Chains A and B, each alone.
Chain A
Amino acid sequence: EVQLVESGGNLVQPGGSLRLSCVVSGFNFNNYVMNWVRQAPGKGLEWVSAISGSGGSIYYADSVRGRFTISRDNSKNTLYLQMNSLRADDTAVYYCAKGGIAVAPRGFDPWGQGTLVTVSS
């Protein structure tokens, strides 16, 4: 069974940093693109970032480029999102989601349960 489990969400002050993790199991992690998608309270989904299976190709939404860094450790089956210079509008549930073998976003399946990041003083 494919499983994705996020962790690392917390309350952080504006300007602070946080690192999210997503541990996966049930598939060959290093073959697949992985994504982070977030959802602000009561709002819709927003794609945040993606990383190819090898880690050699990385993509960001304009809203986080320069502040967030996606990475992966294929030896640990773990995806990361380092978030710096956090702002109030970064407050959201952050989901990791499995992509396909190629970078093109042809459907994210499955998703983790999400981890809540709250940016507030």
Chain B
Amino acid sequence: QSALTQPASVSGSPGQSITISCTKTSSDVTGYNYVSWYQQHPGKAPKLIIYDVSNRPSGVSNRFSGSKSGNTASLTISGLQADDEADYYCSSDTGSSTLCVFGIGTKVTVL
């Protein structure tokens, strides 16, 4: 069981906005300062889409945005497109020697 909880699935219609949450549920994670989000299409390597809670790497669409409030970080995808259908993972620093933890992942379905 991951220290970061994500919904198993989220769906939306093309053009809509959806939000995926990532909640720190374990007291073992004393970090949670550096939250990242990754997109993974089937059979492909993950791709970084958000780092440091809300920053987008060069080349990532501005339809992806990140935020954090307390123990919950969120990824919002606006103007949902067919190609956004993928698995999305959050990750965070742990503040300990294990360094990093991933959420369980959220499958996004475009209806």
**Complex Cα spacing A50 to B100, Å:** 9
Whether B101 sits at the interface, judged by CB under 8 Å, is yes
> Closest residue of chain A to B102, judged by CB?
A45
The reply on A11 being an interface residue by CB < 8 A is no
Is the CB–CB distance between A105 and B2 below 8 Å?
no
How many interface contacts (CB-CB < 8 Å) are there between A and B? Answer: 77
Asked if B102 and A44 make an inter-chain contact with CB atoms under 8 angstroms apart, the answer reads yes
**Cα-based distance from A46 to B2 in the complex (angstroms):** 9
Task: Count how many chain B residues have C-beta atoms less than 8 Å from C-beta atoms of the other chain.
Answer: 28
Interface string of A85-113 (1 = CB under 8 A from B): 00000000001010000011111111111
Interface size, A (range): 20 to 34
Contact yes or no, B45 A113, CB < 8 A = yes
Indicate if the CB atoms of B105 and A44 lie closer than 8 Å.
yes
CB-defined interface of B46-71 with A at 8 Å, one 1/0 digit per residue?
A: 11101110000100000000000000
Chain B 69-111 near chain A by CB (<8 Å), digits 1 or 0? 0000000000000000001010111000111111111000000
In the bound complex, how far is the Cα of B105 from the Cα of A110, in angstroms?
19
Which residue of chain A has the shortest Cβ distance to B103 in the bound complex?
A44
Instruction: Tell me the complex Cα distance, A34–B110, Å.
Output: 34
Is B36's beta carbon under 8 Å from chain A? yes
Cα–Cα, bound, A35→B100 (Å): 10
Of chain A, the residue at the smallest CB distance from B55 is A107
* Interface residues of A, Cβ cutoff 8 Å to B: 35, 37, 44-47, 50, 59-62, 95, 97, 103-114
A-B pairs with lowest CB-CB distance, top 8: A107-B51, A109-B48, A105-B100, A111-B45, A47-B100, A44-B105, A59-B99, A107-B36
25 contacts between A and B (CB under 8 A): A35-B100, A37-B46, A44-B2, A45-B46, A45-B89, A46-B102, A47-B100, A59-B97, A59-B98, A61-B98, A95-B46, A103-B99, A104-B33, A105-B34, A105-B91, A106-B36, A106-B52, A107-B36, A107-B50, A107-B52, A108-B91, A109-B47, A109-B48, A110-B47, A112-B45
